[in-house]
Amino acid sequence: MKKKILVACGAGIATSTVVCGKVEQLVKDNNIDAEIIQCKIAEVASKQDEADLIVSTTILPTTYKIPAIIATSYITGINTKALDQKILDHLV
C-alpha cells in the first residue's frame, strides 16, 4: 500500500524542500512506495486525513491524528541516521 508523507515547514518552501529530498531518497533506498507532499504547516490539519505521517521542520502548532516527526536533524546534519530510522519505523 502506498504511503503518503506530508513534509511541512513554516512557509512550505525552503527547509521543507531540503527535507523532501532527504525523505524521497530514504523511501527510495528502502523500496517503500510513498508519495511525498510538500506543504505549509498551516495546511497539515486539512491534509492529515489522507496521509500516514507528518515530517516537519518546525514546531507543530497542535497535535494531529497521525504520527508527526520533527526533522531538524536533516537541516543541522546531526543524528540523521536516527531520524531516518524513526521515519522508517512509521512506514514499515
Residue 12: per-residue pLDDT = 65
* 61 or 79, higher pLDDT: 79
Provide, rounded to the nearest whole percent, the portion of the chain with pLDDT above 90.
Answer: 83
- Per the CB < 8 A criterion, the answer to whether 41 and 56 are in contact is yes
Question: pLDDT per residue over 38-59, tens digit each?
Answer: 999 999 999 999 999 999 998 8
Query: Is 11 strand, coil or helix?
Result: coil
Whole-model pTM: value is: 0.93
Q: Which domains are assigned to the chain? A: 3-91 (3.40.50.2300)
pLDDT at 32 exceeding the cut of 80: yes
Per annotation, catalytic residue among 5, 6, 9, 20: 9
DSSP state of 6: E
Answer yes or no: 9 catalytic.
yes
pLDDT digits (tens, 9 = 90+) for 67-89: 999 999 999 999 999 999 999 99
User: SS3 for 38-54, per residue?
Assistant: EEEHHHHHHHHHHCCEE
What is the model's pLDDT at position 5? 98
